[in-house]
């Protein structure tokens, strides 16, 4: 490839990267700015000195360690449980080829597109009846189901292209359906499953509305709900909000960096096929 062709692409990518990074830079800049400086110089000036009280105050005010633990617990449980559920149903749909497969899949896609606002009241009443209102378990159950709707859809299409020869070979060797699933299908689809798990974790981490409605008490709330505490009726504490946003987004970024390999591998696997 000639340099003439390469540089415009490179320039476009750099520009795109700048646009993606800019919001983070602004958040970072204001997170370490004192409120007085923010008021006199505005949001776009560079901070004169690093002011960490905003971060520390916010951590203390909402007991951030506890919120972090709640978020990890909920997102982690959802990621694991939703993947297990997706694998089961996708095995039935993609490999087992149950009757009315397209309809089942269409149903899952539709369910996936349902706006969460419509779910608020039914879920509220159901969980109140079941005695699960204001517990982390209720949110875990709800998001396990919501995420596995997408997971089932995605895994089913991946598994329907699964080489039948491998399954038939395993069956001839005397493997049961259960063994085929755990010894053959799951290990071969590991990259896709890994991607799903990472996505489920990050998506659940970022959820706001349902946790806001379902998690009332402070000791069960998640990070994203805790960020809302700073939004007053008419006033907002801009520097502390930035500090909070930084704290809220850091774990998700760390998680992404940690599992970056899994993500790219999963995408690459899809590309070869």
Partner 1 sequence: MLKARRRARLLAAALAGILSMSTLAACGDDAGDKESGKTLRLWHYEAPESAMGKAWNEAIAEFKKTHPDVKVEFEAKGFEQIQKTAPQVLNSDKAPDLLEYNKGNATTGQLSKQGLLTDLTDEAKKRGWDKTVPPTVAITSRYDKGVMGKGAWYGVPNYAEYTMVYYNKDLFTEHKVDVPTTVDELEDALATFKDAGLTPFANGGAEYIAQQYVYQLALSQADRSWVDDFQMKGKTDFSDAAWTYAAETFADWVDKGYIAKSSSGLKAEDAGVSFMQGKHPMFFSGSWWFGRFAEEVKSFDWDTFMWPGSKLTLGSGGNLWVVPEGAKNKELAYDFIDITMKKQAQNTLGNAGGVPVAADSSAITDERAKKLIEQFDTLAGNDGLAFYPDWPANGFYDSLASEVQKLITQSAGPGDVLKSLQSEYDENVLKE
Rounded CA gap, 146 and 149, in Å? 5
| Site map 191..220 versus partner 1, x via CB under 8 A | ---------------------xx--xxxxx
Residues 57-96 that bind partner 1 (CB under 8 A): 61-62, 73, 76-77, 80
CA 189 to chain centroid: 20
Based on the shown chain and the rule CB under 8 A, indicate whether residue 47 belongs to the binding site for partner 1. no
Q: Which stretch binds partner 1 (CB under 8 A): 13-21, 93-101, 128-136, 246-254?
A: 128-136
Q: Which stretch binds partner 1 (CB under 8 A): 94-102, 126-134, 142-150, 261-269?
A: 126-134
Residues 225-244 that bind partner 1 (CB under 8 A): 225, 228-238
Which CB sits closer to partner 1, 76 or 251? 76
Indicate which single residue of 59, 111, 119, 134 sits in contact with partner 1 (rule: CB under 8 A). Answer: 134
Q: Which stretch binds partner 1 (CB under 8 A): 8-16, 35-43, 102-110, 158-166?
A: 35-43
Q: How far is the CB of 3 from partner 1 (least distance, A)?
A: 43
Contacts of 153 (CB under 8 A, 6+ apart): 105, 108, 109, 112
Q: How far is the CB of 76 from partner 1 (least distance, A)?
A: 6
Indicate which single residue of 116, 135, 160, 262 sits in contact with partner 1 (rule: CB under 8 A). Answer: 135
Which CB sits closer to partner 1, 157 or 231? 231
Number of shown-chain residues binding partner 1 (CB under 8 A)? 42
Q: How far is the CB of 20 from partner 1 (least distance, A)?
A: 24
Residue 73 corresponds to which tokens in the numbers above? Answer: 């617990």
Q: Closest Cα partner for 195 from 138, 135, 150, 261? A: 261
Residues within the interface to partner 1 (CB under 8 A): 35-36, 38-43, 61-62, 73, 76-77, 80, 124, 128, 133-137, 140, 187, 212-213, 216-220, 225, 228-238
């Amino acid at each position: 490839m000639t340099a003439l062709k390469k540089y415009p692409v490179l320039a476009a990518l750099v520009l795109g990267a700048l646009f993606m990074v800019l919001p983070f830079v602004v958040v970072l800049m204001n997170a370490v700015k004192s409120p007085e400086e923010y008021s006199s110089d505005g949001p776009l000036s560079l901070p004169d000195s690093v002011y960490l009280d905003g971060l520390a105050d916010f951590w203390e005010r909402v007991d951030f360690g506890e919120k972090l633990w709640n978020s990890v617990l909920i997102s982690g449980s959802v990621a694991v449980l939703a993947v297990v559920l997706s694998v089961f149903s996708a095995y039935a749909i993609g490999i087992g080829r149950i009757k009315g497969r397209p309809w089942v899949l269409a149903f899952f896609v539709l369910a996936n597109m349902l706006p969460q606002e419509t779910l608020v009241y039914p879920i509220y009443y159901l969980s109140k009846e079941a005695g699960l209102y204001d517990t982390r378990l209720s949110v875990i159950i709800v998001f396990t189901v919501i995420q596995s709707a997408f997971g089932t859809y995605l895994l089913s299409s991946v598994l329907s292209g699964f080489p039948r020869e491998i399954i038939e070979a395993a069956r001839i060797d005397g493997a049961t359906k259960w063994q085929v699933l755990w010894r053959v299908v799951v290990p071969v689809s590991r990259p896709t499953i890994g991607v799903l798990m990472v996505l489920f974790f990050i998506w659940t981490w970022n959820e706001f509305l349902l946790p806001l409605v379902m998690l009332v008490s402070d000791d069960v709330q998640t990070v994203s709900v805790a960020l809302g505490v700073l939004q007053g009726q008419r006033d907002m504490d801009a520097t502390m909000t930035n500090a909070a946003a930084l704290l809220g987004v850091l774990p998700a970024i760390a998680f992404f960096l940690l599992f970056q390999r899994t993500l790219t591998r999963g995408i690459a696997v899809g590309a070869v096929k």
